[in-house]
Amino acid sequence: MESTTVFAKTEKGQEEMEKRTDGLNLRNRRVLILIDGKRTINDLRGMNNDEQLPDTLAALAEGGYIKTAEVAAIAYPVNPATIDTSLPLPPPAFRDISSENNPENLAKARNFMTNTLKTFVGALGTSSLLDRIGKCQTHETLRATFDEWYRAISSSREGRREAEGLRIKLLEVI
């Protein structure tokens, strides 16, 4: 999780704040109270001073109480099995490469996408995407696989936790 990631309460999180229906433990409830859609993880760490903050945030996200602010804006479901791939992703902020097609950055981006897919999703479930990524010879063709890569990463529990940080790192070279 990037230290600059911002979380917002989901509808379920708002309801838990009002009604206390799920009986969250004290640590999770404290963190949920602090989440306002504006504070970064660093802000929360400064306010909470809890070494288990990443685990607490992950538990709240898995429970459907919070989601990243950017993802919250487009209302992605928390359960990866129910992700509606027809929902639009936020447009990636690709850097300008109009005057250059840097082969080194292209190779870095291809390797990054391949390694993250293998790590967070597995090669078996993403073999066709891995093949297409491997065949990309330009930044433009690699960028065409970006949304599918992001959805695949977000489909696993660990990948969902790291998706925004991985997205930011990839956008630096793609």
pLDDT tens-place string over residues 74-88:
333 334 444 445 545
Same domain, 118 and 64: no
Specify if 1 maps to a domain: no
Query: Is 41 within a domain?
Result: yes
> Quick one: pLDDT at residue 126?
82
Is residue 54 assigned to a domain? yes
Of the pLDDT bands very low, low, confident and very high (cuts 50, 70, 90), residue 53 is confident
Q: State the total domains in the chain.
A: 2
Does residue 147 belong to any structural domain of this protein? yes
Rounded average pLDDT over 16-40? 88
Is 123 contained in some domain? yes
Do residue 14 and residue 63 come from a single domain?
yes
* The pLDDT value given to residue 77: 35
Residue 86 within any structural domain of the chain: no
Confidence of residue 134 (pLDDT cuts 50, 70, 90): very high
Question: Residue 47 above 50 pLDDT?
Answer: yes
Tell me: do 110 and 57 sit in the same domain: no
Q: Poorest-confidence range of 60-74, 116-130, 152-166?
A: 60-74
Q: Is residue 98 a part of any domain in this protein?
A: no
Q: Specify which residues 7 forms β-bridges with.
A: 68
**% of the chain surpassing 90 pLDDT:** 16
pLDDT in tens, 4-26: 678 889 999 999 988 888 889 98
Give the pLDDT score at 101.
Answer: 65
Residues 72 and 123 in one domain: no
In this structure, the answer to whether residues 107 and 71 fall within a common structural domain is no
- Final residue of a structural domain among 77, 111, 136: 77
CA separation for the pair 28, 112 (Å, rounded): 33
Its domain, for residue 114, covers 103-171
Q: Which residue has the higher pLDDT, 74 or 134?
A: 134
Residue 33 counted as domain residue? yes
Do 20 and 59 lie in one domain? The reply is yes
Q: Does one domain contain both 67 and 15?
A: yes
Give the residue among 80, 84, 68, 74 at the shortest CA–CA distance from 13.
Answer: 68
Residues 114 and 56 in one domain: no
pTM of the predicted model as reported, rounded to 2 decimal places: 0.48
Looking at residue 90, its pLDDT comes to: 54
